[in-house]
Amino acid sequence: MQDRSVAEPLLALEDITVHYEGKNRPAVQHASIQIAPGEITGLVGESGSGKTTLGLVAAGMLRPTTGRVLFAGRPVDMQERAGMRQHRRNVQMVFQDPAGALNPRMTIGETLEEVLYVHRVALDMRDRAQRLARRDALLDAVGLSSHLISRYPHALSGGQRQRVGIARALAVNPRLLVADEPVSALDVSVQVQILNLFKKVNAELGQTCLFVAHDLAVVRYMCARAYVMEDGIIVEEGYCHKLFSNPGHPYTQQLIQAVPDVKKGLEQRKMSLFESD
Amino acid sequence: MRNDDNIVDVQNLHITFGATEVVHGISFAIQAGETLALVGESGCGKSVSALAMARLLPFPPVCTVEGKVLFAGQDVLSFSASRLRTLRRSGIAYVFQDPAVALHPNLTIGYQMCEALQGSTADRKKRAIEGLALAGLREPAALMKRYPFTLSGGMQQRVVIAMALAREPQVLVADEPTTALDVTIQAQILDLLVRLQRKMGMAMLLITHNLGLVAARADRVSVMYAGHLVETGPVERVLQEPAHPYTRGLLDVVPRLEGHAQPLEGIPGMVPSAGEDLAGCPFASRCRYRQDVCEVQNPCLQPRHGSDGTCAVACHFPLEGGKHRAG
Ligand SMILES: Nc1ncnc2c1ncn2[C@@H]1O[C@H](COP(=O)(O)OP(=O)(O)OP(=O)(O)O)[C@@H](O)[C@H]1O
Ligand SMILES: Nc1ncnc2c1ncn2[C@@H]1O[C@H](COP(=O)(O)OP(=O)(O)OP(=O)(O)O)[C@@H](O)[C@H]1O
Ligand SMILES: [Mg+2]
Ligand SMILES: [Mg+2]
Q: How many domains does chain A have?
A: 1
Contacts of B213 in chain A (CB under 8 A): 260, 265
Hey, is the C-beta of A261 within 8 angstroms of any chain B C-beta? Answer: yes
pLDDT given for residue B16 in this prediction:
96
Q: How many CA atoms lie within 13 A of B185 on its CB side?
A: 20
Residue nearest to atom 14 of ligand 2 (CA): B45
Out of A46, A188, A216, whose CB is closest to B253? A188
For residue B304, the 8-state DSSP code is: P
- Which is the closest atom of ligand 2 to the Cα of B57? 1
Q: Which pairing describes strands B74-75 and B312-313: parallel, antiparallel, or unpaired?
A: unpaired
Q: Which pairing describes strands B203-208 and B171-175: parallel, antiparallel, or unpaired?
A: parallel
The Cα A34–Cα B134 span in angstroms is: 43
Tally: H helices and E strands in chain A: 11, 10
> What are the angstrom distances between the C-alpha of A218 and each of A244, B40, B223, B288?
12, 20, 23, 25
- Which is the closest atom of ligand 2 to the Cα of B207? 22
Contacts of B274 in chain A (CB under 8 A): none
Out of A199, A244, A262, whose CB is closest to B254? A262
Q: Is residue A106 part of a domain?
A: yes
CA B293 to ligand 2 center in whole angstroms: 29
For residue B187, the 8-state DSSP code is: H
- Which is the closest atom of ligand 2 to the Cα of A187? 25
Residues of B with CB under 8 A from a CB of A: 41-42, 152-154, 181-188, 209-217, 235-236, 239-240, 249-251, 253-260, 263-264, 266-267
Contact at CB, B42 and A158, closer than 8 angstroms:
yes
- Which is the closest atom of ligand 1 to the Cα of A52? 22
The Cα A169–Cα A59 span in angstroms is: 12
CA of B187 vs chain A CAs: smallest distance (Å)? 5
pLDDT given for residue B3 in this prediction:
58
pLDDT given for residue B124 in this prediction:
94
Out of A47, A218, A260, whose CB is closest to B185? A47
pLDDT in tens, chain A (277 residues): 444 566 789 999 999 999 999 888 999 999 999 999 999 999 999 888 999 999 999 999 999 999 999 999 999 987 788 888 889 889 999 988 777 788 999 999 999 999 999 999 989 999 999 999 999 999 988 988 888 899 999 888 888 899 999 999 999 999 999 999 998 878 888 889 899 999 999 999 999 999 999 889 999 999 999 999 999 999 999 999 999 888 999 999 999 988 888 998 999 887 776 555 4
For residue B160, the 8-state DSSP code is: H
Residue nearest to atom 29 of ligand 1 (CA): A48
CA B109 to ligand 3 center in whole angstroms: 26
pLDDT in tens, chain B (327 residues): 455 689 999 999 999 999 999 999 999 999 999 999 999 988 899 999 999 999 999 999 999 999 999 999 999 999 999 999 999 988 999 998 888 888 999 999 999 999 888 889 999 999 999 999 988 898 999 999 999 998 888 889 899 999 998 888 999 999 988 776 778 888 888 888 888 898 889 999 999 988 988 998 999 999 999 999 999 999 999 999 999 999 999 999 989 888 888 889 889 887 887 777 778 999 999 999 999 999 999 999 999 988 888 999 999 999 988 777 754
Q: Is residue A17 part of a domain?
A: yes
- Its ipTM equals 0.84
Angle at A181 between CA A177 and CA A184, to 5 degrees: 145
E strand intervals along B154-213 = 171-175, 203-208
Residues 85-144 of A with CB under 8 A from B: none
H or E element: which one contains B124?
helix B121-134
Residue nearest to atom 16 of ligand 1 (CA): A50
Closest among A239, A210, A214 to A224, alpha carbons compared: A239
CA B13 to ligand 4 center in whole angstroms: 17
> What are the angstrom distances between the C-alpha of B266 and each of B40, B43, B116?
14, 18, 43
Amino acid letter, residue A256: I
Q: Is residue A6 part of a domain?
A: no
| Crossing angle of helices B153-166 and B121-134, rounded to 10° | 130
The Cα B214–Cα A255 span in angstroms is: 18
Closest among A35, A28, A45, A31 to A5, alpha carbons compared: A35
Q: pTM of the prediction? A: 0.89
CA A48 to ligand 3 center in whole angstroms: 7
The Cα B66–Cα B13 span in angstroms is: 6
Hey, is the C-beta of A199 within 8 angstroms of any chain B C-beta? Answer: yes
Q: Any bridge partners for residue B20, and if so which?
A: B17
Tally: H helices and E strands in chain B: 12, 12
pLDDT given for residue B172 in this prediction:
95
Helix, strand, coil percentages (3-state) for chain A, rounded to 5, are 45, 20, 35
Q: Is residue A269 part of a domain?
A: yes
Q: How far is CA A151 from the centre of its chain?
A: 26
pLDDT given for residue B171 in this prediction:
96
Q: How many CA atoms lie within 13 A of A133 on its CB side?
A: 6
Contact at CB, B257 and A269, closer than 8 angstroms:
no
Which chain A residue's Cα is nearest to B251? A262
- Which is the closest atom of ligand 2 to the Cα of B41? 25
Contact at CB, B212 and A260, closer than 8 angstroms:
yes
Contact at CB, B215 and A241, closer than 8 angstroms:
no
Which chain B residue's Cα is nearest to A157? B42
Q: Is residue A5 part of a domain?
A: no
Residue nearest to atom 22 of ligand 1 (CA): A52
Contact at CB, B215 and A262, closer than 8 angstroms:
yes
Q: Are B8 and B30 in contact (CB under 8 A)?
A: yes
Contacts of A259 in chain B (CB under 8 A): 183, 212, 257
Tell me the pLDDT tens digit for each residue of A191-249: 898 999 999 999 999 999 999 998 899 999 999 999 999 999 999 999 999 998 889 99
H or E element: which one contains A40?
strand A40-45
Q: How far is CA A62 from the centre of its chain?
A: 15
Out of B211, B213, B257, whose CB is closest to A256? B257
Q: How many other C-beta atoms can be found within 10 angstroms of the C-beta atom of residue A187? A: 22
Q: What structural domains and CATH numbers belong to chain B?
A: 6-240 (3.40.50.300), 242-254+276-327 (no CATH)
Contact at CB, A265 and B154, closer than 8 angstroms:
no
pLDDT given for residue A77 in this prediction:
85
Q: Are A189 and B250 in contact (CB under 8 A)?
A: yes
> Which residue range forms the structural domain that includes residue A229?
11-273
The Cα B211–Cα A110 span in angstroms is: 38
Contact at CB, A268 and B215, closer than 8 angstroms:
yes
CATH number of the domain where residue A116 is located: 3.40.50.300
The Cα B115–Cα B109 span in angstroms is: 10
Contacts of B263 in chain A (CB under 8 A): 196, 199
Q: Is residue A3 part of a domain?
A: no
E strand intervals along chain B = 6-17, 20-31, 35-39, 63-71, 74-75, 92-95, 171-175, 203-208, 220-225, 228-234, 302-303, 312-313
